[in-house]
Structure 1
Amino acid sequence: MKWWQTIFFFKYSLLLNLHIRFVETLQEDVAFTYNGFQGVDLSLGGIANITDNGLLTLANTSSQEMGHAFYPHLIHLRNSSTGTALSFSTTFVFAMFSELTTTGGPGIMFVIVPSQEFPEALPNYYFGIFNMTNLGLSSNHVIGFELDTIQMENFNDINGNHVSIDINDLKSVEAAPASYISDQENQYLNLSLISGQPMQLWVEYDGTKKQLKTGKANPSVDVFAFGAFLLEVACGRRPIEPQASEDCIVLVECVVSSWSRGEILETVDPKLEMNYVVEEMELVLRLGLLCSHSIPPARPSMRQVVRYLEREILLPTFLSFSRDFFVSLEYTRNAMNQFSSIAESQLSGGR
């Protein structure tokens, strides 16, 4: 049996929220959500710390130090019958800042590895995971999703502000400048990872298609992203479930269908077992739909979202959706096929 563990290493960063889901079979999955980290089951190492208000910090003003945060339980990411890698997805909200206004540190790396022990690991540019002698070794069994804020020529970094995917090495197999899609301008705009502003990132692996999908970092004001996140957490499933019934493959479409029949609560994650306030759950689901609308002007602003959550204003009693509403979810289908076979090998093989 092959067991993998999820590890976080952060430099110059704050982690605000985490939702991750591992699909084991068609009927069963492993999922956990951290809405703040106060009192949660988490293994911390180095200078990692949880603040009084529930934020996870893995860096401070110290130099040459490392901070790690581990999900403490082993997760099986390989189907024991077929030997294929299983699907998984994660989304998390983070913020990074630097004492210097023009440059940052090595950034953030979300990794999947077979162990939480790195006795020879170096800090800074090696992310507390690698060292000078083990870079590129297939025996590392490391898959990393990197938000990098400094350019290292020896690692072939494209710039000092990028998103990349690493396989056993810090020379990334895929990289792109940090950016987000502007609804107003209908184009990609540059995004400063060290701005100190909360941002959200998705990572998804489709075990059926053997595709690794890495969403771009988006600013917290991206209302559509926030809506998709609300629905994922409330319903306890991914935006796209290929094995679901035809009308529920797309999460938003499933919630809209239930809402139109007056049964929106039937989409709530069954693991919650009614341990929630009905009015609050309805608010979250309806707000998630409104934020996910395919027509940008129909979405509320983030200021309005906060006012809805604080119940300062009421949500519209009637939400109008058409079939093209669901086009917006196509972002989950944009796969990076060029390295899917590498990812499959790393997820399936090794220790």
Structure 2
Amino acid sequence: MFFSKYVLLFLLLCRSVASQQEDVGFTYNGFQGVNMSLDGLAQVTDNGLLMLVNTTTVQVGHAFYPQPIHFRNSSTGNVISFSTTFVFAMFSELQTLGGPGIVFVIAPSRGFPYALSTSYMGIFNTSNLGNSSNHVVGVELDTFQNAQFNDIDDNHVGIDINDLRSIKAAPASYFSDQENRRVNLSLYSGHTMQLWVEYDGTEKQLNVTLAPTTVPAKPTIPLLSLNIDLSRYMVDPMFLGFSSSTSAVKTPQYVLGWSFKMNGKAKELSLSHLPKLPRMGPKPKSKILNIGLPVIGTSLLFMSIFVIQFIVARKKKFAEVLEDWELEYGPHRFKYKDLYIATKGFHDKELLGVGGFGKVYRGVLPTSKEEVAVKRVSHDSTQGVREFIAEIISIGKLQHRNIVTLLGYCRRKGELLLVYEFMPNGSLDKFLFHHQSTAGKTKLSWNQRFQIIKNVASALLYLHEEWEQVVVHRDIKSSNVMLDRELNGRLGDFGLAKLYDHGGDPKTTHVVGTFGYLAPEFAKTGKANPSVDVFAFGVFLLEVACGRRPIDVKASEECLELVDWVISSWNRGMILETVDPKLELNYKVEEMELVLKLGLLCSQSDPTARPSMREVVRYLEGEIPLPELPSLVSENTSEVSFWCPYLSGGKSPPSSIAESILSGGR
């Protein structure tokens, strides 16, 4: 009897603890003094806003409720009902382009140490994306359309399970009960909105509802409704909170209030007591009293004439070419005056490099103080400028961690100015061929070089197969591979890129590119397809491994070509004799042989024998073995050999190729 009383008492205690766990709830009308688990850019501002990310680019921010929560019923193991709501606001410095949004996330851990920013929203990376072992459930507020994740548009709400490919998504909108229709919303408008996420553990129903805070009550019809048993995906216990990240576009994001309840309805937020958002955009102009003063003397007339002449001269100095059709490109267009100030008048001290197509300057934008690279390119305003600028704007939408972001352009008189994200370590060729790099280092280790090769391969795979259109870069070379602060490779300079639809046929174009990297069939047909980039990438592989330029005319009278030299060494069974001596034998032999052989495989004269970039990435990652190369490789018939008679005879190759000859590049 005594023992049974203790058993009964123990069972009652367990039931009480389980009941307490299943009734967890909290309501935060602002986050002043709230204990939150924060990392990355996330912080609580002085007035109680939860700022997930600020204007810092390419970073992540996480904010989680610090205690684990038991979502499963202790007896059945099923996920029980829960409800949450929060008020948020997202901004963008560009009116027509957002960035990575906010994800309300339920996960087994508060930490995501290997998560990537930009496209991966601070939760996943390339290796764990889609893994069932993630046990992650999320609701994304996404303001960037990424073809890699099959996003429906650049302004949507989606339900995510272990992946950023939403299992259900809808454009951002709410059902107006008064108007009896759906009303569209812009997630990154800067206006406050409220999201409700509700799960019915009995009916196995997940509802997501969105509305602006100006709506007096939650809409009766949810934006998303999904029949799903979360018990299949969630472990016990779990953490809940918010994840976000930034890209090259500045997109600060805030949560103003948050309410959560297990096994019940989340308490309503007090909207009038939520903290105020900071002012965004330019400061309002102060109102100055308009005091009329009599015009006295002829001296004021002369002063007016001087001011008018000064203004006219200044406008002429900063005059731009702007046609009506360019207005549709909006914020992608920079003011020439801002770029002039940013580069200190395109001063020689700000010069980063000189190529066959123009000069590149470092600049600091006067308003945002963002560091950029500004390239001045000459152009013929009568030939295809509209199409060229349309492609420049399209390329500006590319978002990949291994691509230098093109921020916009400006057109003035006979030149085009392209504005890129600034890369502090400059271009790869300075590390490979110069005795002293701009970063003060004398050489790159093999591990760094091999990682840069993988970075460029990943970028090309994205361009060829994973973006909404096929992008052929047409100028792959070491001088167009930039290095960020961590010496990661970032493919840049898309001034020669061509775009066409997947499954379409590339149009014939002028033969442009850099001498030594042009595929032989491109020089003959003028059709730029992904195989053209694969050929140039093969030459680039040999360039990085051997530490030599594709062509060294001064080396001998025979117009020495890097590819032919490596072929000759391969045929003699001495391929490792071509390795860059600056590495001093500090490399992995199997990796070096892989890169050299892959370089020969990619740079074959027959385009049908070259691998795709997807196969190249798999070779580099060791997912599939490299096919055996023949003992004898036929002589290369690239444009180098094709134009040798011009060089030896004292003539010049055609201007379209010569514009970017050898190390001059662009």
> How far is the alpha carbon of 1:148 from its aligned partner?
0.4
Q: 1:228-267, aligned counterparts within 5 Å?
A: none
Cα deviation per residue 1:264-315 (whole Å; 9 max; x = unaligned)?
xxxxxxxxxxxxxxxxxxxxxxxxxxxxxxxxxxxxxxxxxxxxxxxxxxxx
Counterpart of 1:219 in structure 2 is 212
Q: Give the residue type in structure 2 aligned to 1:336.
A: L
Q: Give the residue type in structure 2 aligned to 1:198.
A: T
Counterpart of 2:226 in structure 1 is 336
Unmatched 5+ residue regions in structure 2?
A: 1-17, 239-666
Greater alpha carbon shift after TM alignment, 152-161 vs 73-82:
73-82
Q: Which residue of 78, 99, 107 corresponds with 2:93?
A: 99
Q: Give the residue type in structure 1 aligned to 2:226.
A: M
Distance 2:155 2:137 in 1: 20
Q: Which residue of 116, 120, 139 corresponds with 2:114?
A: 120
Q: Which residue of 187, 192, 196 corresponds with 1:202?
A: 196
> How far is the alpha carbon of 1:184 from its aligned partner?
4.3
Query: Could you tell me the percent identity over the aligned residues?
Result: 61
Would the aligned equivalents of 1:108 and 1:148 in 2 still touch at CA under 8 Å? yes
RCO (CA 8 Å, sep 6+): is it higher in 1 or 2? 1
Counterpart of 2:442 in structure 1 is none
Q: Which residue of 174, 186, 194 corresponds with 1:192?
A: 186
Would the aligned equivalents of 1:84 and 1:348 in 2 still touch at CA under 8 Å? no
Counterpart of 1:182 in structure 2 is 176
Counterpart of 1:286 in structure 2 is none
Task: Confirm or deny that 1:142 pairs with 2:136.
Answer: yes
Would the aligned equivalents of 2:70 and 2:237 in 1 still touch at CA under 8 Å? no
SS at match of 1:75: coil
Larger strand proportion, structure 1 or 2? 1
Q: 1:10-21, aligned counterparts within 5 Å?
A: none
Cα deviation per residue 1:167-223 (whole Å; 9 max; x = unaligned)?
0001110000100123443210111001100000000111111111111x2111111
Q: Which residue of 133, 146, 157 corresponds with 1:152?
A: 146
> How far is the alpha carbon of 1:350 from its aligned partner?
9.6
SS at match of 2:174: strand
SS at match of 1:76: coil
Unmatched 5+ residue regions in structure 1?
A: 1-23, 226-327
Q: Give the residue type in structure 1 aligned to 2:213.
A: S
Counterpart of 1:36 in structure 2 is 30
TM value normalised by structure 2: 0.32
Cα deviation per residue 1:95-144 (whole Å; 9 max; x = unaligned)?
00111111111111000000112121101111111001111100000001
User: Is the alpha carbon distance of 1:28 and 1:121 closer, same or farther for their aligned partners in structure 2, counting shifts above 3 Å?
Assistant: closer
Task: Confirm or deny that 1:346 pairs with 2:264.
Answer: no
Would the aligned equivalents of 1:85 and 1:348 in 2 still touch at CA under 8 Å? no
> How far is the alpha carbon of 1:347 from its aligned partner?
2.5
Q: 1:79-94, aligned counterparts within 5 Å?
A: 79-94=73-88
Q: 1:268-287, aligned counterparts within 5 Å?
A: none
Task: Give the alignment's Cα RMSD to 1 decimal.
Answer: 2.2
User: Is the alpha carbon distance of 1:222 and 1:348 closer, same or farther for their aligned partners in structure 2, counting shifts above 3 Å?
Assistant: same
Cα deviation per residue 1:228-276 (whole Å; 9 max; x = unaligned)?
xxxxxxxxxxxxxxxxxxxxxxxxxxxxxxxxxxxxxxxxxxxxxxxxx
SS at match of 1:154: helix
SS at match of 1:125: helix
Would the aligned equivalents of 1:112 and 1:143 in 2 still touch at CA under 8 Å? yes
Greater alpha carbon shift after TM alignment, 156-165 vs 28-37:
28-37
Cα deviation per residue 1:71-111 (whole Å; 9 max; x = unaligned)?
00011111121111111110000000111111111111000
Q: 1:312-327, aligned counterparts within 5 Å?
A: none
Distance 1:105 1:212 in 2: 26
Aligned residues: 221
> How far is the alpha carbon of 1:35 from its aligned partner?
0.8
Distance 2:232 2:21 in 1: 25
Larger helix proportion, structure 1 or 2? 2
